[in-house]
Structure 1
Amino acid sequence: MGLFDMFKKKEPAAPAKPASVSATAAPDTLCAPANGRVIAMTDVPDPVFSGEVLGKGCAVWPEDDIVYAPVSGTVTVTMGHAVGLSTDDGVEVLVHIGVDTVNLQGKGFTGYVKQGDTVKAGDPVIKMDRNVIKEAGYPDCVVLAVSNTAEFAGVELAVEPEATVTAGTPVVKVVR
């Protein structure tokens, strides 16, 4: 150790990535991105999502802070509060945490993936701080949307609205 080494700032250690969860990754099936209660997309407290402008799907009111990949595929985009994924068979998925959370400018979110990464359903993709989201006055629902819905015959819930699910449970089915 040199004389001035004690004055150097130490880089904070990267947060440990949580373990993956077991996910039932079947073709054309999207798994719950979080533990919690499922709601229909039309019940998301945001007109863009509830109007299905960004695609059909559902949302989960989360019970904890880890958000998992709902499908196996490639990360197409990352933002602090959202991640886009594309499956090998052409399903494009948006996982969006909260409503209006873009205004937090990344505060309260830790990403575990970057654009171009390959993920498996059940891999952790983002950690959110639900307290930061709630203190800012935003709902913390985790939205799961098939962004290329128009390319399919349908996108349907695979569970009843209000069902309590664990991350990795099938919640949305894409119909070809």
Structure 2
Amino acid sequence: MGLFDMFKKKEAPAVPAAPAAIEAEAGADVLCAPVSGKAIKMADVPDPVFSGEVLGKGCAVWPEDEVVYAPVNGKVTVTMGHAVGIMSDSGVEVLVHVGVDTVNLQGKGFTGYVKQGDQVVAGQPVLKIDRSVIAEAGYKDCVVLAVSNSAEFEAVELAVEPETTVAAGSVVVKVKRK
């Protein structure tokens, strides 16, 4: 390595190949389930930040699978290993956050399929989670779906009965505009 090699810009790591997309019931005022599993009210998420709706209203899903899909059509605003932020094409700011305290894993057990600035469509894979890594670390693996700009809407509501098993890509949250 020469002296000037240390000043060269490092290439961003390549995004791994993602599994196939699924069909999703995308719409301007709905959020699709990011995973298949049991949908719960935000108040039932075992984390006070989410259950207290500090980061927005929405819901969570106890996952049955390990692939997490985009809940809306939009632009990826942030990726953090265990979480993906998306600004939907209709102006809904969505945070998809996997697990409780999983930030402590520092990315271990998570594979990202998107990067900041990417355009995504509902049903497109955004993350893969290794549920066994999360469980072995003693963390919960619920997948939270939060509308971080909830105050801009009249309502952000669960679109299914709590404790209902939902399929990834099906509507789980409805947003009502003011």
TM-score, normalised with respect to structure 2: 0.90
- % identity of equivalent residues: 76
Partner amino acid, structure 2, of 1:26: G
Name the CA distance, whole Å, in 2 between partners of 1:26 and 1:153: 17
Task: Kindly state the Cα deviation for residue 145 of structure 1 after the two structures are TM-superposed.
Answer: 0.2
Q: How many equivalent residue pairs?
A: 164
Q: Which residue of 1 aligns with 2:151?
A: 150
1:173 aligns with 2:174: yes
User: What is the correspondence of 1:32-43 to structure 2 with a 5 Å cutoff?
Assistant: 32-43=33-44
Q: Deviations over 1:3-58 (max 9, x none)?
A: xxxxxxxxxx9754111010000111000000100010000000000000000000
| Mapping for residues 121-140 of structure 1, pairs under 5 Å | 121-140=122-141
Distance 1:38 1:152 in 2: 22
Please report the RMSD computed on the Cα atoms of aligned residues, expressed in angstroms.
1.1
> Tell me, what secondary structure is at the counterpart of 1:134?
helix
Partner residue, 1:81:
82
| Displacement over 3 Å in runs of 4+ | 13-16
Matched to 1:116, the amino acid is G
Which residue of structure 2 lines up, in the alignment, with residue 21 of structure 1? 22
Over 3 Å counting, the alpha-carbon distance change for 1:14 and 1:86 in structure 2 is closer
Equivalent position SS for 1:103: helix
The letter for the 1-side match of 2:78 is V
* Residues in 2 aligned to 1:90 and 1:64: alpha-carbon distance in whole angstroms: 28
Give TM-score scaled by structure 1 length: 0.91
Structure-1 separation of matches of 2:163 and 2:28:
24
CA distance in 2, matches of 1:17, 1:42: 32
Letter of the aligned partner of 1:48 in structure 2?
V
In the alignment, the residues of structure 1 paired with residue 30 and residue 15 of structure 2 have an alpha-carbon distance, to the nearest angstrom, of 32
1:48 corresponds in structure 2 to: 49
Alpha-carbon separation, structure 2, partners of 1:170 and 1:117:
23
